């Protein structure tokens, strides 16, 4: 399994081994030890960066399943939704061409980026998943975003206490794919 994400999956600001990907790996080791998890997440990663790295990762890791958790940094930088969508769609297609199942983790952004942009950004993930026939978690931070106490001081990155919630959000869609 390949996880391609940004700081939310790269354990930014928390101790190594406390992030949702590490929790997932431990749980899989207990319940489905045939699965290995390779976390290729990088803090600050954009969809363009993920897309540029994905072909080599697919060749090297030969994953049966790819989890894509990208797009938030595109939005925070005000990048065009059309390019974010194209990059995500291409990553999904490359993963499927490599015979991997895909789980897309959706994000939302605050309305201070504009109500229309925020709405279109949130809708982009389910639209891609529907068009490409892959699974999607519509909002990866569900159950966390509305609780300020679960965030680090920067108000962007979840604390260690939130990681089990993120994992549960993922497992709801991931478990049937295993």
For the segment 18-45, what is each residue's pLDDT rounded down to a tens digit?
999 999 999 998 887 889 999 999 999 9
Per the annotation, the verdict on 7 as an active-site residue is: yes
Asked whether the beta carbons of 77 and 110 are under 8 A apart, the reply is no
* Catalytic residue (one of 7, 22, 41, 95): 7
Per the annotation, the verdict on 30 as an active-site residue is: no
Domains, the chain, ordered by start: 2-177 (3.40.50.1110)
Nearest-5° angle of CA 174, CA 77, CA 14?
A: 50
* Catalytic residue (one of 9, 118, 154, 164): 154
Quick check: 170 pLDDT over 90?
A: yes
Tell me the average pLDDT across 117-139.
97
* Catalytic residue (one of 6, 9, 95, 157): 157
Asked whether the beta carbons of 3 and 69 are under 8 A apart, the reply is yes
pLDDT at 34: 87
Confidence band, pLDDT 50/70/90 cuts, at residue 113: confident
Q: Helix or strand or coil: residue 77?
A: coil
Asked whether the beta carbons of 37 and 9 are under 8 A apart, the reply is no
Per the annotation, the verdict on 83 as an active-site residue is: no
């Amino acid at each position: 399994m390949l996880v391609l994400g940004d700081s939310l999956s790269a354990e930014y600001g928390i101790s190594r081994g406390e992030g949702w990907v590490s929790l997932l790996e431990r749980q899989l080791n207990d319940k489905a030890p045939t699965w290995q998890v390779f976390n290729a997440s990088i803090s600050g990663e954009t969809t363009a960066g993920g897309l540029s790295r994905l072909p080599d990762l697919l060749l090297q890791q030969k994953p049966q399943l790819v989890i894509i958790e990208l797009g938030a940094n595109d939005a925070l930088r005000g990048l065009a939704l059309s390019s974010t969508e194209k990059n995500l769609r291409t990553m999904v297609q490359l993963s499927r061409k490599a015979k991997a199942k895909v789980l897309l983790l959706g994000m939302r952004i605050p309305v201070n980026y504009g109500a229309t942009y925020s709405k279109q950004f949130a809708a982009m993930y389910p639209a891609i998943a529907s068009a490409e026939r892959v699974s999607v978690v519509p909002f990866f931070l569900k159950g966390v975003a509305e609780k300020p106490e679960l965030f680090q001081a920067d108000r962007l990155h979840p604390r260690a206490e939130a990681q089990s919630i993120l994992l549960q959000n993922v497992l709801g869609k991931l478990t049937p794919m295993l």
